[in-house]
Amino acid sequence: MGYKIASSKAGVNVGTATAPNDFNYSSDYNTLKYYTAGTIRVAGSAVFPNTNRYFGTITHGLGYYPFFSFFATDDSSATNFYPYGFVAVGAGGLTRTACARMGTNTMRFMYKITNASSGTISGTATFYYKIYRNNTNL
């Protein structure tokens, strides 16, 4: 017989419940374990009709590809938090893209501006990232 720790939701019998959704916590199921979190800003600009990419990098040092998440905002609409980045198409063919990739020791963020409009367009993306200890084993 295996032993476990479980905490059921209010009104649910912890001794008889079986569905994962009946528990606040059950040692039968893995959870995400925080490692580190932070913020990084990446600024850039593009002169018509160019596309430019700008990068920011943080070091996590885990030695493997960890589970990660992040939200990104475009400073032109700083109240909108987009999970795992965004592609924002603006007036006149202006496109801003925010995304990230993970390595075994670093995480790199990219902010791309495509100016299909005119003049010079500038902007800044802010990335709010969380890295977990969970190894993706990829």
Partner 1 sequence: MTQVIKVSKAGINVGTATDPNSFIFDSTLNTFKIVATGTVLGTISAGGLGNTGTVSTAHGLSFIPPVVGFIRTTSSAGTTILHPTAEEQISADHIFRSIWADGTNVNFEIRVASDISGTVFNCRYYAFEVPL
Chain residues that interact with partner 1, rule: CB under 8 A: 5, 7, 9, 20-21, 23-26, 29-32, 55, 65, 67-69, 83-87, 97-103, 108, 110, 112, 136-138
Task: Point out which residues pair with 107 in neighbouring strands.
Answer: 58, 102
* 68 within 8 A of 129, measured Cβ to Cβ: yes
We find the least distance from the C-beta atom of residue 48 to partner 1, in angstroms, to be 20
We find the least distance from the C-beta atom of residue 66 to partner 1, in angstroms, to be 9
**63 or 119, CB closer to partner 1?**
63
b/e per residue 92-116 (b: at least 16 CB within 10 A): eebbbbbbbebeeeebebbbbbbbb
**93 or 118, CB closer to partner 1?**
93
